[in-house]
Amino acid sequence: MRILLATLGSLGDLHPVLGLGIELRSRGHSVLIATSESHRAVVEAASLSFAAICPSLKADPDRAGELFSQRRAPEILIRDIVMPVVREMYEGLLPLVQVADLLVASELIYPAPAISEISGVPWLSVITAPASFFSAYDPAVIPQAPFLHGLRHLGPWTHNVLNLLFRLFTVNWYTPLRRLRRELGLPRGQNPIFDAKHSPYGSLAIFSRCLGAPQSDWPSSAIQTGFIFYDGTQQAPDSLRRYLDGGEPPLVFTLGSAAVHAAGDFYQVAFGASQRLRRRAVFLLGNNVAPEISSDDFYFASYVPYSLVFPRAAAVVHQGGIGTCAQTLRAGCPSLVMPFAFDQLDNAHRMVRLGAGRYLPRNRLSVNAMIRELQPLLTCSGFRTKAVQTSREIAQEQGVYLAARAIESVGRAEPPA
């Protein structure tokens, strides 16, 4: 088949799509990746064909703090960044889909249903995190109102009511999409934040049951596969290998590929905590500046593939992106999660519930608080035991194989009624 994989977001969104693309190519299919221009080099390094679509989502340091504000981040991303260019996204994707046999689209590809309706090409959706299902039976922790999670003991009706209120609150976010559908002669369609993002052909839940099992209120088209991994083509620098071989397992501090642009004082606090704990540490800084210090105990880099360093870590301190959570669990390494926005707070609570990590609220970040949360991870064997156990379960899930098989089963089949 000729398969178009379309995605937007951070490397946590892109990497599973690249892993899926490589698997599909190995099965003899033709694969094209459509994503932001800022990801061109990453896609081409994986030897996959690339097409640019709107928006660019290039990191903007001047707006990073606003985009990762806990309360307003989803509204800014959806209403202010993605929806204003939804027509351009549609116009860029439509000709690519018209020469494809199948479209596989991630959550932010909001024109996907319209493109499928206009072109007649079937599509599958990709959901990367449990929070995106808005299940009333396994309710997510919502960054805008985390205290509402305490109502879960009252039963699913409370979260059904909350979801209804959120639907009403977000109606104006997707006005450009409603306008586009009307101009195309299509019916209004469902809410893209809740419903329309799930394809009737199949909605691939590419996360592990360890973090979120299927629920009765998931769409009937949902297919849970497990995590899909891709960690780039970069090899471990000699300096990193020498460092990892040169002493006890280090702490690793990272904020992924997106929140790293809104780091604030995270790395300064992390450095102070490492010194106070007398622990070796790896700092993955992005564009942040490393402190001026000469010590064999610390290793600084803008980025290295997580699979090169997480398996050697004593613990990882990170922002809770689903891709980073997946990599720590795959490595069997305990986590301290300091979430910023989006699904990260919910992911943090799931890591705690799993028993493989602890949670540090961003507004309580300090050297003392970080030390207090890290010490149990470093001294209590239960966290690592649970992380190792989970890594074995993830290894058996065969996420990329199940996702590829689901894609192949669709072909040009008619959608279910």
Please answer whether residues 345 and 74 qualify as being in contact, where contact means their C-beta atoms are separated by less than 8 angstroms. no
CA–CA separation, 130 and 322 (whole Å): 9
Closest of 192, 129, 133, 139 to residue 161, by C-alpha: 139
Q: 99 is written with which tokens?
A: 């020469």
Asked which of 71-75, 228-232, 303-307, 384-388 is least confident by mean pLDDT, the reply is 71-75
CA–CA separation, 123 and 116 (whole Å): 6
Containing H/E element for 32?
strand 30-35
Per-residue confidence (pLDDT) for residue 158, from 0 to 100: 86
Per-residue confidence (pLDDT) for residue 376, from 0 to 100: 96
Q: 152 is written with which tokens?
A: 């879960």
Q: How many angstroms separate the Cα of 290 from the Cα of each of 238, 263, 272, 283?
A: 19, 13, 13, 8
- The predicted model scores a pTM of 0.93
Spans of all domains in the chain: 2-227+397-410, 238-395
Per-residue confidence (pLDDT) for residue 236, from 0 to 100: 81
Please answer whether residues 327 and 307 qualify as being in contact, where contact means their C-beta atoms are separated by less than 8 angstroms. yes
Model confidence pLDDT, tens digit, residues 54-70: 998 776 666 666 778 77
Average pLDDT of span 160-171: 90
Q: How many angstroms separate the Cα of 235 from the Cα of each of 228, 231, 300?
A: 20, 10, 16
User: Architecture of 238-395 per CATH?
Assistant: 3-Layer(aba) Sandwich (3.40)
Please answer whether residues 315 and 253 qualify as being in contact, where contact means their C-beta atoms are separated by less than 8 angstroms. no
CATH number assigned to the domain covering 2-227+397-410: 3.40.50.2000
Average pLDDT of span 106-112: 97
Mean pLDDT, rounded, of the chain: 93
